[in-house]
Every structure is written in structure tokens, then in C-alpha cells.
Amino acid sequence: MRRFIAGVIGVTMACLVYVYTEVQMTKIGYTIRRQEEMKTQLIDRTRALKYNIARLKSPANLEKRLIAHNVLLSSPKTWQTLVLTGQPALRREALAQSTWYNPTMLAKFFVGTAEAQAKESSN
């Protein structure tokens, strides 16, 4: 009789463990489905926001907004433009004149290397 009761208790426990795992799998399945739906909604929202940003940045939209605010823009005249030539040389001279710029030998090596790489990449 003890064996029978022990067997019934064992089978009952195994069934309870099986039911518990099935319930947990179902809960996890619902959670996964909910998260996939949320992911889809977020992807759609991201796509819509990117479209809005592109639309707001478009020249046609900016032109409409400027016209609505009575802002008139025109291209600059030749006397209003300034062409800078030899800008890297001016920058180096300005850095050399500043009081805080005193590179060490190691820094000069790395700066020279970076300038050489920049010259090579511009060709």
C-alpha cells in the first residue's frame, strides 16, 4: 500500500511539474509576442519620425516656412564673400603665436605624421 501511495504522489508531482512548465512556457510566449508587437510599433514610429525629420529639413519646406514668415533670402554678392587661401598655414601661425602651444618633440612627431597622412589622403 505504501508503494501505491508513493507512486501516486510521485506521478502527481511529475504532473504538477509538467503543468507548471507548460504554464510558464505559455506566459513566456505571450511576453515574446507582446515584445515583438512593441518592436514593430517602435520600428514604425522610428520610420515615421525619420520621415518627418527629412520632410522638415527639405529645402521646399524651409522655403515655405521662410515665405510664411516673410523672410527673403538671396545669394551673396561677390563683394560679400571672402575666399580663404592657405588656411592651414594661417592656423599653424596662429597656434605658434599662442602662449599655451609649446609641443614636445614627441608631439611634433605625431602632428607631423598626421599632417603627412592628411596630405596623402587629399591627393
- 42-97 confidence digits (pLDDT tens): 999 999 999 999 888 888 888 888 888 888 878 888 888 877 776 555 555 655 55
Number of H helices, E strands in the chain: 4, 0
Q: With pLDDT > 70 as the criterion, what percentage of the chain qualifies?
A: 69
Task: Give 84's DSSP letter.
Answer: -
pTM of the model: 0.45
CA distances to 10, 44, 57, 100, 102 from 111, in Å = 77, 47, 38, 16, 12
Q: With pLDDT > 90 as the criterion, what percentage of the chain qualifies?
A: 40
- Cβ-based neighbours of 84, under 8 Å, separated by 6 or more: 90
pLDDT mean across residues, the chain: 79
SS3 content of the chain, % helix, strand, coil (to 5): 80, 0, 20
- Cβ-based neighbours of 90, under 8 Å, separated by 6 or more: 84
